[in-house]
A and B are shown apart, each in its own frame.
Chain A
């Protein structure tokens, strides 16, 4: 009896404490062990971590059908149904790689990205802003400055640069800092963007909410005040900026004969609000009024001068919305409106030019599967342009056109693995002026050679309507076309970057001017190599980069009598940028050294068209940011320290002098140097934030 009850007791114990051993090994696709993976039974605490050989073992008191889960960073979660019936289980588990944003290869051919969020970009926004030197237009290799387009949150921005007096650098209307990501593409860009023959500047505005702050800037050329107000899920910012170069030009001798130096008044507003869990609404506006006037002196007789007076009114409004549709798909859409008006007075003749553009766009993007992403969208761009020439002696002459371009695009990224991605897509466009439908393919691929390096290739066809001043003369002109081939290799270590890129661009249907008639009979090519090296590691507190590019290009377009090198092209381009932080001085010092070989210009006294070359361009610029207090920055910059007399080209008289030669005048910088001083103050609850990023 006692033995029976003891036996009963012990068997009860065994049943109640019945434990099953589950063990095995975790490996990846290549049989490498995965240590520290998390293995457990769903809805229980039973589990363990794998050891350095990938082996694991744990006991469980559960039985019946259970779900075994295995998790580890960088791999897809593994789930398997198992049945626990008393005997121990041994499992060989293979985890599948997850395509992760941090690890996956990216298409880098033709693209120079700056981002604060992604670590695998060449630049951060602060790099672009704190680089000494002229911050004029972006240098578009192989292309005319007019062949680049700017997009904010996918929406087209017409006239993204403020009007400049002849031969002075123009300033971008948008600072790099509003944006979390800036992608400057030198070619081969996404099917999402069109109407840009050579390159696209893609800016993505920041999503994260801001802190309440007030920023004041006191500059040698004006001042600005900005205020940001933020609340749960949203923020609103406004800025007013006044710039007037008159006091500055009164102090520093100018070569231009200004009547009223450039002055501008600008108001900017930005709004951002989270909608629901994943959605967002953004709005942005920019209103600018700017004007200047100067005298152009006749080349042959200095006393004969002509007044040139420009007033520009610019309005830009952009509304943007995005939200997730489900866990795999999101949609975004926007509407942008640009209106610009130039009132130009040339002596007593008036030229009034206006352009209004509306852009509406919707994009759907998401994942078709773990390895395939899809992006597709529809957009309409409507542009209204007119120019009137009003003179006292002749009747008013007006030229105008209205162009509507409707397009649809599809693009898909196929990730064979984290190491190899192929992107292909196409763009369908209908142009109302030509009443034609066109199709342009875009293909690119990238392969990660190792942990830090990757090779990338891009191909695409691009088209763009001719410049306004040509299109207004004949609205039936066909679009200009380009075909790009780009190959690049880049290697981004933590603090060192190396990049080499080679490209070939073929241009067709460029506009040619014969006497007064225009036709799409021009063509051209551009090819070259670019090298880039950046090092933040070798010397303490020193960040420097060196870039060199070689460009070989010729075009037969506009008024060229034969295929020649265009005047915006220089064969060799070199620049070195250095930034050094000196803790003792609480300062960052920066310098930029640029050397560019001569650019061609046309000398009517010579036979060969565009056969003469300007002297080599050399510029050493310097800047100094001093932070005496966390919320205060004193900034000083100076271009062309060495005072080199850089010449960008020559202007020629229209009549021959007594020797049968045309007199010339060099086109120089407006002043030997540009000096700038600014004081930036930030007022906020947290006294340690400042404007260093937004300079």
Chain B
């Protein structure tokens, strides 16, 4: 056998080995995460959200050093709770979200995005029974947003959620929404300038902020 014919075979084997062992520019983890992050952002139904959440849970049980899988699983559950009408099922989804966020906090206790998402979970809890949960969970949500903003003043989601909460309160009391709109404008600025080194960092929230903007003159 001539040496020349062995070389393409060896190259083929080497390439196979490389692809298999994930030395490609996007590792298996990043690939899987990016694909599912896109799914969770695009999901149109509770079923699609559950499928994305399941994928994040699968990744999360393997990748115990990354907070992002737990974060996005929680995000998916919060979106499911938001779409659900039945109060008992809402609470069930939010319990799952809280469990995922607790795991994320153990991995990254000072991560602003996780705290902001915790606030979001509290905010959806209120919708189950506004009269008795409003004061308690409203206060906790605002506390979480404040803490998230302190941890990372550039986090646009913490500000957008805070504005949402302030707007809801102002509406309930029939007072003007000036404070909410000020916070909202800051949030929109931060969306423009937000940059993260983490390719898997959350990018959602702009749509919510922009639709709230229409309520502010």
Give residues in A with beta carbon < 8 Å to B: 1-2, 5, 8-9, 12-13, 16, 35-36, 38, 40, 42-49, 71, 73-74, 102, 116, 119, 124-126, 208, 211, 494, 543, 583, 586, 627, 629-630, 684-686, 688-690, 692-693
Contacts and interface: CB of A to CB of B under 8 A. Distances in A.
B91 A688 contact: no
B131 interface: yes
Given A12-B13, A45-B62, A690-B135, A36 B169 contact: no
Contact of B132 (A73, A124, A583, A689): A124
B153 interface: no
21 contacts: A12-B12, A13-B16, A36-B50, A38-B54, A38-B58, A40-B61, A45-B32, A49-B55, A124-B129, A124-B132, A208-B140, A543-B131, A586-B174, A629-B175, A686-B138, A686-B143, A688-B139, A688-B169, A689-B138, A689-B139, A693-B136
Contacts of A9: 9, 12
Interface of B: 1, 5-6, 9, 12-13, 16, 20, 28, 32, 47, 50-51, 54-55, 57-59, 61-62, 86-88, 91-92, 95-96, 128-129, 131-133, 135-136, 138-140, 142-143, 146, 166, 169, 173-175
B4 to A, nearest CB: 11
A119 B91 contact: yes
A346 B140 CA distance: 53
A689 B87 contact: no
A211 B143 contact: yes
Contact of A49 (B51, B139, B142): B51
Specify the main secondary structure of chain B where it touches its partner. Answer: helix
Nearest to A61: B20
B92 A494 contact: no
Contacts of A685: 146
B139 to A, nearest CB: 5
Contact of A125 (B13, B132, B169): B132
Nearest to B138: A688
A208 B131 CA distance: 19
B61 A42 contact: yes
Contacts of B92: 73-74, 102
Contacts of B133: 116
Given A44-B62, A211-B143, A494 B138 contact: no
A426 B5 CA distance: 86
Contact of B131 (A13, A126, A494, A689): A126
B169 A693 contact: no
A659 to B, nearest CB: 60
Contacts of A583: 174
A630 B58 contact: no
A116 B136 contact: yes
A126 B50 contact: no
B68 to A, nearest CB: 14
Contacts of A71: 57
